[in-house]
Chain A
């Protein structure tokens, strides 16, 4: 059974650009969440999606957006990149919200220069 797949694994972007990160959940999982991990702020919740609907959103500026497709795959987008957006972005999936817990992917390491 394949795990949570995040692509790309590494990404380097320039300030001002935009970026799209992809997450494919475990087959059958319908809930997808995103987290940002930085040395200073730690792990912070970005969004949560279930059946293509955003159920919850963290305290991030509007430059951070996401969506979920009918096959449960999810993308997150960051526009007008800032140096402070450099982070590990982790995706996690679960069967339905409120069940046993997440399975995480290995993340996308985004570096903004």
Chain B
């Protein structure tokens, strides 16, 4: 079945770049997503990338997609303490009903001052 894998923890120093990696299994996913969950809150869509793109940049965020390897990454430049959160990678559940997403388990990013 479809699965999305990501490492559970990442720790970086303030000002460094963070790279959060994700692998997925469904090559027919049209879009791939990154969600952010701040402490005590729900998830919020951070960015997404269309599957025919290799890269998408949005201010400090860069998403890289390697479709051949089914690998997605999120790079946060100049990481700040406010970036401390759990980051979820997600793909569309094309085998299921409309609107469903398959989420990874989330990567907890800790930013040390």
B and A form one assembly: no
Residues of chain A whose beta carbon lies under 8 Å from any beta carbon of chain B:
none
Q: A-contacting residues of B (Cβ < 8 Å)?
A: none
